[in-house]
């Protein structure tokens, strides 16, 4: 895996991060600029540059990402009160890193969108 973005460097532990979970498919870490009391990212260890680049062969990986988001929501005690999943896709949506990632936010009442 080439290390050409910050997420890949986090996956490979080349830069420090508050890693909450990691397995062979995904890495989960706290957001460095949280928008809620609980804010973490779920990223695939495989390079997928955006939501638009998911292929049929990635369906199990995406399902795993969602399952891990739920697992960490339970560990962070936001499972019952509620949480939000956000995937920004491309520049106009606010995607800053060209690596698919799910933001998971909770820990307070979030404003409706």
Give the DSSP H or E segment for 29. strand 26-30
101 is catalytic: yes
Which position among 39, 99, 101, 103 bears the catalytic label? 101
Look at residues 104, 88, 84, 86 and name the one whose alpha carbon lies nearest to residue 96: 88
Q: State how far the alpha carbon of 3 is from the alpha carbons of 10, 13, 70, 85, in Å.
A: 9, 11, 28, 26
Residues acting as catalytic residues: 101
């Amino acid at each position: 895996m080439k290390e050409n973005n910050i997420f890949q460097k986090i996956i490979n532990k080349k830069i420090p991060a508050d890693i909450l979970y990691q397995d062979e498919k995904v890495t989960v870490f706290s957001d460095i600029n949280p928008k809620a009391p609980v804010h973490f990212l779920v990223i695939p260890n495989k390079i997928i540059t955006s939501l638009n680049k998911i292929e049929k062969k990635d369906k199990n990986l995406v399902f795993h990402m969602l399952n891990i988001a739920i697992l960490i929501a339970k560990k962070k005690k936001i499972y019952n009160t509620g949480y939000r999943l956000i995937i920004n896709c491309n520049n106009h949506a606010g995607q800053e890193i060209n690596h698919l990632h799910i933001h998971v936010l909770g820990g307070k009442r979030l404003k409706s969108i």
